[in-house]
C-alpha cells in the first residue's frame, strides 16, 4: 500500500502543491499574493520528499541513501515545479496561439516544455535534499535540515532566475509582497526572502520532529524573533529618516501615466492601431498639464523617421516649454547600428533627448535564441533581434528627481536595477516601468507584473511609476503599496503624485556591487557544510 502511495498519490500531491503555489503568488480571482499559502504548499513538498527519503527503507545494505529514493524525490520536485510554473505562466498560450497563430496543441506543448525544463532545477534541489535527509540520524536535526532545504531551494531559484536560464517569473518570494515578511526585501531581496520562506516551510513539515520541550529550541525562537524585530525597526527608522538634511527640499512631483489600451492584434497594423495610437498619445502629450507625463512601451510604435511629417518635431517643440517633461516608449535605431526598444525623455533645456535602451531582452520576442528561428517562423508575431542597452544606464534628471526607466519585464531583475545605486550621488529617486502586457490578454499576468514592481519598490524603497498599454497602470509608493491605479483594459490617464527617496537600502548596496552572488555563494557554502556534517554524523 505504501509503495502504491509513493508511485501514484505522492506524485499527484506534488503536482497539486505546485499548482497551489502558483495561486499563492497571484490568485486569478483577486490578483493578490498569499504568503501563508506559499509556505504551506512548499511545506507539502518537503513532507512528501521526507516520506520518500525515510531512513526506514531508503538505504541499501551499505547504509547509503538508496538511489531509488533520491530519484523519487527528484520526480516530486520536478512535478511540483511543473504544476507551479505552468500555473504561473500559462498565459504564454495567449501570446503564441491567439496573437501568434501557433497551433493550439503545439502551443500547449511549448508551454509544458518550458515549464518542464525549468523544473529540472527544483528536481535537483529535491534530490540533493533527499540524499542528505535519508542519512542515519538526519531526522534528529530538524533545524539543520530546514536550513539545508532553504539553501538548495534558493540555489535552484537563483539558477533559474539569474545565472542560467534567466527567467525568474513567479519566484516564490513574490508571494510575500504583503504580510509579515515584507520587511525583509530591503536587506536580502526577493531570493533572500524566498530562503526564509523555504526554511519556514521545511520547519512546518518537520514540526513533529522539533524538540519543543528543549530550552535550546525556545532560545533559538527568541533570538529569531528579536532579530526579525530589529530588522523591522531598522526599516521603519530608515524610511522615516529619509527626510534628513541631505534630502532635497521637495521630491514630490505630479505625474500623468497614459494607458492607451490599443488592441494587441491592431497595435502594429498600419491604418488601424498605429493611427489610433499616434492620434491618442499625441493628443495626451500635447494637452496634459502634469509636471511629468509617461507613455508605455512602444506608445509610439514607429521609428521617428517613419512618423508623419511634423509629428516628432511637434512633440520635441512642445517639451521645450518650461515646467513639463515626458518619458515615452519608442523603437529607435537603424539597420546599420541595430534597432532598440527604448524610452525617450523630452524636457526643456536639453542638448539632445534623453535615451534609455532596454538591456534585458525578451527571448523569442526581442531576440531569437540560437537554433530556434524555425519556431519563431511558425508564429505571426513581429519578432526580431534587437540591440541591447548597457546595465546601469544614467537616469533621467528632472526637477531634482533622477528617474530610472525600465522596460517590460526588466523590473524582474533586481540585481540589474541595483547597478544604478553603486554611486549614491547618481542613484535613482524613483523607477519608471513602461510595459505592454497586451500580448497576454486579460490574464493574471497583469496582476503578477504589478506584484513584481511592488517587490522592487520594497527592495530599493523607491516609488515605481507604471505606464502600460492595457494594465496595470499604477503609482506604487516606496513602501510597495499601490496608491492609485487605472482599471485594466481601459483607456485613460492616471493623474497623481509620488515622492522620490534618496536613502540606499542594504540590498541596493550589496547587489549593486556583486549582484546575487553573495546570496548564492552563501547558500552553496551552507549546503556543503550541512551535507558534510550529516555525512560525518551518519
Higher pLDDT, 143 or 62: 143
Q: Residue 412 corresponds to which cell in the numbers above?
A: 524582474
pLDDT of residue 374: 46
Q: What is the mean pLDDT of residues 478-483?
A: 95
Task: Please tell me the least confidently modeled range out of 38-47, 329-338, 382-391, 463-472.
Answer: 382-391
- Coil, strand, or helix at residue 199? helix
Rounded to whole angstroms, how far apart are CA atoms 13 and 282?
53
For 7-33, how does the pLDDT look when each residue is reduced to its tens digit (9 = 90+)? 788 999 999 999 999 999 999 888 899
Q: What is the mean pLDDT of residues 139-146?
A: 82
In this structure, what DSSP letter does residue 478 have?
T
The pLDDT confidence band at residue 247, using thresholds 50, 70 and 90, is: low
In this structure, what DSSP letter does residue 515 have?
T
Q: Which residue has the cell 483607456?
A: 491
Rounded to whole angstroms, how far apart are CA atoms 479 and 122?
31
For 485-502, how does the pLDDT look when each residue is reduced to its tens digit (9 = 90+)? 999 999 999 999 999 999
Sign of the alpha-carbon dihedral angle for 247, 295, 475, 516? negative
Higher pLDDT, 138 or 446: 446
Q: How far is CA 247 from CA 251, 253, 499, 536, in A?
A: 8, 15, 12, 55
The top-scoring range by mean pLDDT among 26-40, 233-247, 269-283 is: 26-40
| Residue 164, pLDDT above cutoff 70 | no
Mean pLDDT (the chain) is 87
| Residue 139, pLDDT above cutoff 60 | no
Selection from 232, 245, 221, 241 nearest residue 146 by Cα: 221
Rounded to whole angstroms, how far apart are CA atoms 119 and 14?
12
pLDDT of residue 351: 79
Identify each DSSP E strand in 316-372 by its residue range: 325-334, 338-346, 354-357
pLDDT of residue 384: 58
The top-scoring range by mean pLDDT among 121-135, 207-221, 243-257 is: 121-135
CB 527 within 8 A of CB 152: yes
| Residue 132, pLDDT above cutoff 90 | no
pLDDT of residue 245: 44
- pLDDT > 90 fraction of the chain, expressed in percent and rounded: 60
Q: What is the pTM of this model?
A: 0.91
Q: Is 225 exposed, middle or buried (0-12, 13-18, 19+ CB in 10 A)?
A: exposed
In this structure, what DSSP letter does residue 264 have?
T
Q: Which residues are catalytic?
A: 297, 358, 408
pLDDT of residue 438: 85
| Residue 382, pLDDT above cutoff 80 | no
Q: What is the mean pLDDT of residues 153-177?
A: 90
Rounded to whole angstroms, how far apart are CA atoms 327 and 257?
10
Q: Which residues lie closer than 8 Å to 123 by C-beta, 6 or more apart?
A: 74, 75, 77, 78, 81
Amino acid at each position: 500500500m505504501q509503495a502504491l502511495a509513493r508511485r501514484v498519490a505522492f506524485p499527484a500531491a506534488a503536482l497539486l502543491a505546485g499548482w497551489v503555489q502558483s495561486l499563492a503568488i497571484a490568485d486569478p480571482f483577486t490578483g493578490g499574493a498569499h504568503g501563508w499559502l506559499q509556505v504551506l504548499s512548499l511545506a507539502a513538498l518537503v513532507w512528501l520528499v521526507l516520506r520518500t527519503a525515510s531512513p526506514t527503507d531508503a538505504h541499501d545494505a551499505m547504509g547509503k541513501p538508496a538511489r531509488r529514493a533520491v530519484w523519487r524525490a527528484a520526480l516530486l520536485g520536478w512535478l511540483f515545479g511543473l504544476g507551479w510554473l505552468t500555473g504561473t505562466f500559462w498565459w504564454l498560450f495567449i501570446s503564441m496561439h491567439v496573437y501568434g497563430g501557433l497551433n493550439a496543441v503545439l502551443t500547449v506543448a511549448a508551454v509544458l516544455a518550458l515549464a518542464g525544463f525549468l523544473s529540472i532545477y527544483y528536481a535537483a534541489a529535491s534530490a540533493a535534499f533527499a540524499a542528505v535527509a535519508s542519512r542515519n540520524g538526519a531526522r534528529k536535526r530538524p533545524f539543520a535540515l530546514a536550513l539545508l532545504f532553504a539553501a538548495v531551494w534558493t540555489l535552484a531559484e537563483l539558477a533559474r532566475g539569474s545565472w542560467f536560464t534567466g527567467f525568474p517569473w513567479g519566484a516564490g518570494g513574490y508571494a510575500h509582497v504583503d504580510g509579515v515578511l515584507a520587511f525583509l526585501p530591503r536587506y536580502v531581496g526577493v531570493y533572500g526572502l524566498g530562503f526564509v520562506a523555504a526554511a519556514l516551510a521545511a520547519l512546518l513539515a518537520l514540526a513533529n520532529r522539533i524538540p519543543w520541550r528543549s530550552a535550546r529550541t525556545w532560545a533559538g525562537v527568541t533570538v529569531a524573533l528579536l532579530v526579525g524585530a530589529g530588522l523591522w525597526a531598522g526599516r521603519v527608522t530608515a524610511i522615516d529618516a529619509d527626510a534628513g538634511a541631505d534630502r532635497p527640499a521637495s521630491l514630490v512631483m505630479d505625474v500623468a501615466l497614459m494607458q492607451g489600451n490599443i488592441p494587441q492584434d491592431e497595435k502594429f497594423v498600419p491604418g488601424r492601431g498605429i493611427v489610433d495610437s499616434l492620434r491618442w498619445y499625441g493628443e495626451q502629450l500635447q494637452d496634459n498639464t502634469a509636471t511629468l507625463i509617461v507613455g508605455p512601451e512602444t506608445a509610439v510604435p514607429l521609428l521617428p523617421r517613419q512618423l508623419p511629417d511634423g509629428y516628432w518635431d511637434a512633440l520635441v517643440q512642445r517639451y521645450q516649454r518650461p515646467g513639463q517633461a515626458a518619458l515615452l516608449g519608442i523603437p529607435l535605431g537603424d539597420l546599420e547600428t541595430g534597432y532598440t526598444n527604448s524610452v525617450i525623455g523630452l524636457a526643456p533645456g536639453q542638448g539632445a533627448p534623453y535615451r534609455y535602451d532596454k538591456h534585458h531582452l525578451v527571448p523569442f520576442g526581442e531576440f531569437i535564441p540560437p537554433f530556434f528561428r524555425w519556431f519563431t517562423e511558425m508564429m505571426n508575431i513581429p519578432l526580431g533581434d534587437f540591440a541591447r542597452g548597457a546595465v546601469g544606464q544614467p537616469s533621467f534628471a528632472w526637477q531634482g528627481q533622477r528617474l530610472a526607466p525600465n522596460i517590460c519585464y526588466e523590473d524582474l531583475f533586481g540585481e540589474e536595477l541595483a547597478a544604478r545605486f553603486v554611486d549614491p550621488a547618481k542613484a535613482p529617486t524613483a523607477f519608471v516601468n513602461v510595459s505592454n502586457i497586451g500580448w497576454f490578454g486579460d490574464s493574471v499576468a497583469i496582476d503578477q507584473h504589478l506584484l513584481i514592481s511592488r517587490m522592487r519598490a520594497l527592495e530599493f524603497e523607491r516609488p515605481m511609476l507604471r505606464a502600460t498599454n492595457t494594465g496595470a497602470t499604477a503609482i506604487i509608493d516606496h513602501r510597495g503599496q499601490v496608491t492609485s491605479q487605472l482599471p485594466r483594459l481601459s483607456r485613460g490617464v492616471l493623474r497623481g503624485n509620488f515622492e522620490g527617496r534618496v536613502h540606499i537600502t542594504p540590498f541596493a548596496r550589496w547587489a549593486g556591487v556583486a549582484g546575487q552572488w553573495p546570496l548564492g555563494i552563501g547558500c552553496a557554502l551552507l549546503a556543503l557544510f550541512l551535507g558534510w556534517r550529516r555525512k560525518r554524523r551518519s
